[in-house]
Structure 1
Amino acid sequence: MTQQNIEQYLVYGNPIKQSRSPDIHKIFADENNIAIDYQKQLVALGDFKTAVKIFIAQGGKGANVTAPFKEDALKLADTLTERASLAGAVNTLTFKEGKIYGDNTDGEGLVQDLLHNNVTLKQSRILILGAGGAVRGVLLPLLAQDPKSITIANRTVSKAEALCENFNDERLTACGFDELADQTFDVIINATSASLSGDLPPIPTSVITNDIACYDMVYGKDDTPFIKWAKAQGARKTIDGLGMLVGQAAVSFSVWHKIMPDIHSVIEQLRKAIQQG
């Protein structure tokens, strides 16, 4: 097959060296007999729009977007999906017929991974720790799963309250970490950046019961501090964010190629690669 027949894709970020997106999409493409060339590109701050325009001119078909360019991608898109609009960020761009289409697959990736791990979301009481962009990106897909309630706890309560107002859904409530002691949940999702710095969100041990599922959006070679803590408190199930990474990539792949790839084998392959360093 000639290079002209191979569709070109990129992932943009700064930094970008750590991105596993090219590996993930290559596996998806190989397993579905689709020929793609997927690269990663470091973009200088302020150069995102120019980089995308150059890629489109070169025949690029689509791109993933990671930090810190997701809001730039939102502004650049001509058309947005509802989930991208509500998320206030875009991680998937499609270039078609002279237009740029923006989507956000992060939340759907999280939902797919939770369901893959047999976590019940329907009529569940969900606690989300944090109120940053990551939370905004996952609320619509989580609400679509028909939970009983979603509580957003954050150090700055006003940020959590603003998110609730933005989505205007009666199942959403906001509170501070210090208000959690007497509350009961079925699922806890850590969307704070605490695990990246080796810290824990300041939540009471009483929220962890032996039938709760705890999810950390961060992943690594070893258990994150939040996962270790949840296990020590007797949580029934603990899951890190590797499956969310693969899940959001799978949804992006389906946006571009109209095929939802299998994520199970990719998660296993990545897990092995991470363990081997």
Structure 2
Amino acid sequence: MKPVIHLGVFGNPIEHSLSPRIHSLFAKAQQHPVEYRRYLSTPGRFSRNIAQFFRSGGKGLNVTLPFKQQAAELATELTKRAQEAGAVNTLVAMGNGQLLGDNTDGEGLIKDLEEKGFKVSERSLVVFGSGGSARGILPLLLQQQPRRIYLVNRTVDKALMLKSQLENLGVLAADRIQVLASALEINEPIDLMVNATSSSLMGQRLALPPQLAEGASGYDLMYSDEPTLFMQQLSQAGCENVSDGLGMLVEQAASSYQLWMGGERPDTAFVMAHLRDRS
């Protein structure tokens, strides 16, 4: 019998996480003996908890809020996209106490947008928020060569700082980001809106752009059994193509799983179908 491979996810809160179910489906499909568990931590205990997990033989971890930036500081090596994001959602044991930190969030979003037919290239986008979630997706969105990305955040200085950091890191096309305090200031039709804030979780409505392009799309990084508040807003505004972030969650998980296990990328279509059927 093959030895059990220990994986997991750290966060706070963490009891709601779908990651164990997703990774158990990947493991079953690829016939890997995996045990994937949720771990609750605190900022003060996080580094000790991580060290204990890997000392005990753990192979890899996912990291979710609020620990992604702490995880980047703990990694002994960062991938280029983790450096650009300034945050890590995947840790990989490399032996001798060395940890590789990666960020698969942006790749997960791009793969799900492509799957759903949401276009980025030469389109005008709005990204709401400038926190860790926005940091994780902006470099990958910029790689798709959008016409412009409006980065909308109530605290303009925070958004300007994020843009400056991306430019200093040499992120492709970072000069195409335009920072605004409100989407109401936009004076062109918008093709795609991405909510990288916790507004849906908090029950807060966002001010949408005055003009939406024909066939405009909207994407909420949050996921829910029912349409999120942001998705409801978009539908009320006449946006026909809307989605929550469940697909991104599954796609970024597949990228993490492949990093840990090697071999082929897990099939995500059957996992998505399973999750939607069970929700």
Q: Same fold (TM over 0.5)?
A: yes
| Preserved CA contact (<8 Å) 1:14 1:68 | yes
Q: Which of the numbers 165, 183, 188 marks the counterpart of 2:193?
A: 188
Query: Structure 2 CA distance, aligned partners of 1:111 and 1:151?
Result: 18
The alignment status of 1:232 with 2:236, answered yes or no, reads yes
| Preserved CA contact (<8 Å) 1:192 1:201 | no
Deviation at 1:31, TM superposition (A): 1.1
Deviation at 1:269, TM superposition (A): 1.4
Query: Structure 1 CA distance, aligned partners of 2:128 and 2:191?
Result: 14
Paired AA for residue 78 in structure 1: T
Task: Find the counterpart in structure 1 of residue 211 from structure 2.
Answer: 207
Query: Structure 2 CA distance, aligned partners of 1:207 and 1:153?
Result: 15
Deviation at 1:209, TM superposition (A): 4.0
Task: Find the counterpart in structure 2 of residue 112 from structure 1.
Answer: 111
Task: Find the counterpart in structure 1 of residue 224 from structure 2.
Answer: 220
Matches within 5 A, 1:1-277: 1-2=1-2, 5-98=3-96, 99-168=98-167, 169-177=174-182, 179-204=184-209, 206-258=210-262, 259-274=264-279
Deviations 1:219-241 (A, max 9, x none): 21211111111112211311111
Query: Structure 2 CA distance, aligned partners of 1:115 and 1:178?
Result: 25
Query: Structure 2 CA distance, aligned partners of 1:130 and 1:219?
Result: 17
Secondary structure of 2:190 counterpart: coil
Deviations 1:58-99 (A, max 9, x none): 111111111221122111100001111121111100011221
Deviations 1:223-272 (A, max 9, x none): 11111111122113111111111111111111112221121121121122
Paired AA for residue 253 in structure 1: Y
Query: Structure 2 CA distance, aligned partners of 1:185 and 1:118?
Result: 16
Normalising by structure 1, we get a TM-score of 0.93
Give the number of aligned pairs: 271
Secondary structure of 1:140 counterpart: helix
Query: Structure 2 CA distance, aligned partners of 1:110 and 1:191?
Result: 11
Secondary structure of 1:170 counterpart: helix
Normalising by structure 2, we get a TM-score of 0.92
| Preserved CA contact (<8 Å) 1:208 1:230 | no
Query: Structure 2 CA distance, aligned partners of 1:203 and 1:121?
Result: 18
Query: Structure 2 CA distance, aligned partners of 1:57 and 1:218?
Result: 33
Paired AA for residue 173 in structure 1: Q
Query: Structure 1 CA distance, aligned partners of 2:165 and 2:245?
Result: 25
Deviation at 1:183, TM superposition (A): 2.1
Deviation at 1:102, TM superposition (A): 0.4
| Preserved CA contact (<8 Å) 1:209 1:234 | no
Runs of 5+ unmatched residues, structure 2: 168-173
